[in-house]
Structure 1
Amino acid sequence: MTTFVPPGYRTIAAPVETEQEIKRSRFICFLTPVADEEEARAEIARVRALHPKARHHCTAFVLGERGQLKRSNDDGEPSGTAGAPMLDAIDGSELTFVVAIVVRYFGGILLGAGGLTRAYRAAVAEAVTHAKILRFEPRERIAVTLDYSTAAVVEAEALRRGWSIGEVEYGAAVTLRLGIPPEDREVAAERIAAHTAGAATIVDEGFGFVSVGAVE
């Protein structure tokens, strides 16, 4: 039976704050990476407390490796004119594990449904352009314990093949924690055995996602 391997995902590396003025209304966007719904709602509460006098605090967040959890809120704006277009901007950027809060200070000029939709979508899209975007890929996590004399060779092999190198422990022996693409698992075992004359110990530490760097 073939094992299902979920695809990778994209998220942002750090919080971003941007501001736009449209017809005298201020739209301040807070775009923040979050791990789960609890963190997303905590960030929403934080921004609300930071801007208690704002007319609206509209929100959208996407969670899950496949972006399977999505929530949005218009916070008093006409239905569908704020949260949904914010969510569209996140989806259009192919991001997940992120929350967007757009704070609006009303400037006295009504924008209409179309104007609001464009403004809220643009606020999030603008924040995304200022964010550093990271790509996460599925990896088989293994711990490799080996002699000091062969550790550098195995590290070099990992770097050459694009395997991620995590924590390294130094004791009586060296333990390398590697992230291996699922399709390379057998190759990894073979190469490590070849470099260490079969003396290395490999322990499976489960499946997860690791950052493979920034998206250009």
Structure 2
Amino acid sequence: MEKKENRERYLPYRCVLEGGTGEIVEKKSRFLATVRKVETEEEAAAFIEEMKKKYWDASHNCSAFVIGRKAELTRCSDDGEPSGTAGRPMLEVLLGEGICNTAVVVTRYFGGTLLGTGGLVRAYGAAVKAGLEGSRVVTMRYGTRLRIGSDYSDIGRIQYLLGQQGLPQENAQYTQRVVLETVVAAEGEERLIKELTEATGGRAVLEAVGRYYFIDKE
């Protein structure tokens, strides 16, 4: 099995699986947030341009995006709002939520009343939060797909252990022996292997058949 120190390089991260929208109204100004999953700066730029064309009649289309699991690339734009009152607070919400590979555009339709710098900061931040609430945000964890082979006499113990830890039981095959697969997060892999080995007296055959990021149960 992969060494623990290597697995720890792969930290969990949060991202938008399905984008959505959210809206708030502040002193008759409408703030409409549109959230989109993006993988590259080019995708983010295309999305922002798409929103600007869609909401061409709006007062402002402010934007922010985060690319990379460790937020390696970030950008934001006030789109004509006073400097630091729109794009930066929008970006801070994304970073504060630990969300990556995500872009958001907040479209403002001016309601006739000035909000002041503090009011704008709060409104744009709140709009992004509303947009995220309208999206599907998931946690991605790095882990191992573990194939487990056992005799029929041991399968009950194995299924009980997997059930106790809330781990999936997939691709089951019942022939001369039972073979099934599960997916376990990297930080729980060693513990699971130890428990399965002890529960079956070392009779279970364990094989790592893949390592990748998967969606953590919600």
Shift of 1:177: 3.9
Shift of 1:104: 1.2
SS in 2 for 1:26: strand
TM normalised by structure 1 equals 0.74
Matched, 1:211 2:210: no
Equivalence map 1:1-20=2 (5 Å): 2-3=5-6, 4-20=8-24
Equivalence map 1:38-53=2 (5 Å): 38-53=42-57
Matched, 1:138 2:176: no
Residue 14 of structure 1 contacts residue 131 of structure 1 at CA under 8 Å; is this kept in 2?
yes
Q: 1:175 to 1:54 in 2, by over 3 A?
A: farther
Q: Structure 2 CA distance, aligned partners of 1:166 and 1:56?
A: 50
What fraction of aligned residue pairs are identical, expressed as a percent? 30
Residue 34 of structure 1 contacts residue 40 of structure 1 at CA under 8 Å; is this kept in 2?
yes
Q: 1:202 to 1:209 in 2, by over 3 A?
A: same
Q: Deviations over 1:67-112 (max 9, x none)?
A: 3332212222232221101112222333333322101122344434
Q: Structure 2 CA distance, aligned partners of 1:155 and 1:38?
A: 46
SS in 2 for 1:7: coil
Q: 1:121 to 1:155 in 2, by over 3 A?
A: same
Residue identity matched to 1:203: A
Q: Structure 1 CA distance, aligned partners of 2:161 and 2:40?
A: 35
Residue 61 of structure 1 contacts residue 97 of structure 1 at CA under 8 Å; is this kept in 2?
yes
SS in 2 for 1:142: strand
Paired position in structure 2 for 1:86: 90
The gaps in structure 1 that reach 5 residues or longer are none
Q: 1:156 to 1:102 in 2, by over 3 A?
A: same
Q: Structure 2 CA distance, aligned partners of 1:211 and 1:19?
A: 27
Q: 1:31 to 1:166 in 2, by over 3 A?
A: farther
Q: Deviations over 1:135-162 (max 9, x none)?
A: 33332x1341536946665344223224
Paired position in structure 2 for 1:198: 203
Q: Structure 2 CA distance, aligned partners of 1:45 and 1:175?
A: 50
Q: Structure 2 CA distance, aligned partners of 1:43 and 1:166?
A: 39
Shift of 1:133: 4.4
SS in 1 for 2:216: strand
Q: 1:79 to 1:39 in 2, by over 3 A?
A: same
SS in 2 for 1:19: strand
Residue of structure 1 aligned with 2:107, choices 83, 86, 103 = 103
Paired position in structure 2 for 1:24: 28
Residue 192 of structure 1 contacts residue 198 of structure 1 at CA under 8 Å; is this kept in 2?
no
Q: Structure 2 CA distance, aligned partners of 1:55 and 1:171?
A: 63
TM normalised by structure 2 equals 0.73
The size of the alignment, in residue pairs, is 211
Q: Structure 2 CA distance, aligned partners of 1:38 and 1:196?
A: 54
Residue identity matched to 1:198: R
Q: Structure 1 CA distance, aligned partners of 2:72 and 2:142?
A: 17
Please, what is the CA RMSD of the aligned residues?
A: 3.4
Residue 72 of structure 1 contacts residue 83 of structure 1 at CA under 8 Å; is this kept in 2?
yes
Q: 1:130 to 1:202 in 2, by over 3 A?
A: same
Q: Structure 2 CA distance, aligned partners of 1:152 and 1:45?
A: 56
